[in-house]
Amino acid sequence: MVQQRIQNASEALKRAKEMDGDVFLGSFTMQEIERTGFDTSVFDPFSRVDVYLMWDGFEFVLKYIFDDDVLNPYYEKAHEIGSEEDVLEVVQEYLEVGGE
């Protein structure tokens, strides 16, 4: 399935709330995701991480899939990041770094 590129963070949050599923934010190398401030030190080394945004009915959730291991995703909920504004900033950072 071809993913349509998200233009900005507000659009990504809106889509996540409206659709039943994940909004693809990008595929990043370990070095790229570290540039966003994501702490990779607690994870085993990886070559790629796919990042998705979702809405669980109560809050936004970022889902990370490391090296195509769909059985062991890592979830980061909005309240763990801070406010919805903080989630918006994180999503914007991912979109600016770009990933693949």
Residue 66: its H or E element: strand 60-66
pTM: 0.87
How far apart, in whole angstroms, are the C-alpha atoms of residue 13 and residue 44?
29
Two structure tokens written together for 52: 């998705």
d(C-alpha 2, C-alpha 28), whole Å: 17
Domain boundaries, the chain: 9-97
The pLDDT score that the predictor gives to residue 71 is 96
Dihedrals φ, ψ of 87, to 5°? -60, -45
Amino acid 99: pLDDT:
56
Per-residue pLDDT of the chain (100 residues; tens, 9 = 90+): 334 456 688 888 888 988 877 999 999 999 999 998 899 999 999 999 999 999 999 999 999 999 999 999 999 999 999 888 888 899 999 888 875 5
